[in-house]
Each structure stands twice: as structure tokens, then as C-alpha cells.
Structure 1
């Protein structure tokens, strides 16, 4: 994860869940993430093709020039990109994976803004992962953001983080300080990480990412 917003939300979610695969929806406290609240959203998983915005931060709505509540997040893409995001969301809902991906958010003038997005599973009323906490984190703040709406956002990279692993930035923050006698951090198996620099197909059980190249191995189990 590259953006401060994405890292902050992931760390908050990780602390909430503890040793569980995912925290409960009612454990999420807006006051605890007030600094990034405008960049966050919550989705409701209705079926494999419908993930509706329950909540969307003010900065996200401003980026798209409209209120997003009630809209299906998959409608932001078409074709193979839509298929890939649907596969990603299925992994979040069904397997409890976290997901991070990169976009090239583009306005109708052709101006591009790189964005990092994360999906994090939440339990809701005892049901497994029917809510998804996420953020829309621009990597910079161009002058046109909020002035000229984003109209398309082709995918540039995808990554899945399984429930039993930690991303590198968290592992680095927990490295042993030899003078404090802490136990060494166990390095978990690498996540699935793919990018768009060379078209290819990659398959998870029951899921295929048709237009991305694999960068490093998937779950080792």
C-alpha cells in the first residue's frame, strides 16, 4: 500500500479485528477515523454482481460529482475491468481477503489521477463479510479534483491480502529491536499481486483475472 489513507484504514481495521478474519460492522467508529472519513466508504454485498454503497465519504462523492449512496460499485467499470473487480469482491466476501488496487481516475478532459482503493471485509449481524469497508485514496491532489468529475477509472494493478498474512508495511513497523527482546515477526506467505504491464490470465479457485500479469505467488496452503 502506497497511500497514507489506505495504510491508516488498513491498520485501523487490523486492530479492530484482532485474531479474527474480520471485525463487526458495528465496531467501526467514525470518530476513530475522522481524519480520513471523507475518503472512506461502506458497501453492502447483495449478490455477486451487486455491491451497493451504504455510505460514501464527501471527498469521494466530490471526485465523481454526485452522491454515490445506493449505487452499485461495479457500475464504475465495464468489460474485463468489471469482471476483475467482481472477482476481487467475491474473494473479499467469500474468503475474507483484503484487496488493494490501483486506478487511473480520468476526467472527460483526459486528465489522469492515480488512485489507490482498498476493500476490507466486515461481518454484519452475524453474517460473514456482507459489508465491505474501503477507501478511495488519490495519490496526489490535482487542481481539477472536485471540479471535473471522474468519468472512467481503468485498473492498473490488483492485490489480494489473505486473512493470515500481513503486508510489508506492517511487518516493517513490527521488526525486532534487539535491545527490547521482542519475539521475531513471522513472515506470512506472499499475497496474490498482479499488474497490467503485460496482459495475461490468472486464476483463483472459481475466479479468473484475464488481463493482468502475476507478479508474485498466491496463497501457500
Structure 2
């Protein structure tokens, strides 16, 4: 994933997710505090994979609800996307679920009046518990990258994908360092 071009809120949430993967049962000091990123919590949502392969939104923050103009709880997340975009987002969700790493979807949201704003949707798998590889829930962040003012207060009606950064599954192995002394 190309992290140098992501929104600062996305970077904070990804760092927190990585720390949770390292120490799932404990608290790691030195991480960002919620009070430092108040707008972040309102942009978070949770997805759950259902038996029919739909991804239901279980909960969504106030900013997400305001941006899409409706409550998303118990709605299929894939219904925000249409045509080929829906297929790509579904494949990205599957990759995240299978690989166990986060992914980012960049795109744009459009209102019925044609106003547009650039969006970034970050998705991170949540494990079912200690030692479990079942990943049927995801933590998401719905973040505008450009000014929300461009939407003129209108809800995002259509979502379009411009880029998908799937999970980076490269494993970092031990590094060998050679030291020579004459």
C-alpha cells in the first residue's frame, strides 16, 4: 500500500490497527489518543460478512451517515458501489479477509446534482479472537480527501473507484548484517 499519499486520519488508524495486531490484549503506550483526532471516530464504520456474501454495515459514525445522507446500519456496503466498481470493491474485501491486511479504496463521491469530492475508504480486518484466522468483520474509515464543501451539503449518491490498494502481503523476514573487522 502506498502510504505516503494517504489521508492523515487513515495513517493514524492504520498505525493503531498495526499496534492492535502486535499486542491485541494489552495497551501499547505512545500511540495516538482519541482526543487528538476527534473527527476520526465519526468517520469509522464496522462491516460484517453474511452467509449470502453481503457485507452488512453494523454501525457507522455520524460523519459517514451525514456524507451518504442515510443511516447505513444493516445495509449492504457493496450497494454503495455499482457495476464494475462493485465487483472491484467486493474483490478488495475478499483480499483483505483472506490476506489479513488492510486495504485502501480511493475514488470520488458524487451528489445527484453532480458535485464531487475525492474519497478514501480504508478497510482493516478484525479477528474473531486470539489465534483465530476467521475474519468476518472489518473496521472501516470513510474519509473525504478533498473539501467536503464541494458537495454543497448534498449527500453522496454515487461512489466511483479510481484506485484500489489491496493488502500488502509481503513478509518481512530477518535481515542479515555482515560486520567485518580487520
Q: What TM-score do you get using the length of structure 1 for normalisation?
A: 0.65
5+ residue gaps, structure 2, are 28-32, 176-182
Cα separation, 2, equivalents of 1:6 and 1:51 = 21
Higher relative contact order (CA 8 A, sep 6+): 2
Q: Give the 3 Å change call, closer, same or farther, for CA 97–48 of structure 1 in structure 2.
A: farther
**Residue 128 of structure 1: aligned partner:** 134
Matches within 5 A, 1:57-206: 57-125=61-129, 126=132, 128-143=134-149, 145=151, 147-164=153-170
1:5-36 per-position Cα deviation (integer Å, ceiling 9, x unaligned): 111110110111017xxx58xx9xxxx54621
SS at match of 1:119: strand
Cα separation, 2, equivalents of 1:98 and 1:15 = 13
Cα separation, 1, equivalents of 2:157 and 2:144 = 15
Residues 42 and 131 in structure 1, CA contact (< 8 A), matched pair in contact too: yes
Cα separation, 2, equivalents of 1:106 and 1:78 = 13
Q: CA deviation at 1:48?
A: 6.7
1:165-200 per-position Cα deviation (integer Å, ceiling 9, x unaligned): 69xxxxxxxxxxxxxxxxxx97xxxxxxxxxxxxxx
Q: Give the 3 Å change call, closer, same or farther, for CA 106–77 of structure 1 in structure 2.
A: same
- Structure with greater strand share of residues: 1
Q: CA deviation at 1:55?
A: 1.1
SS at match of 2:148: coil
Q: Give the 3 Å change call, closer, same or farther, for CA 9–62 of structure 1 in structure 2.
A: same
5+ residue gaps, structure 1, are 167-184, 187-221
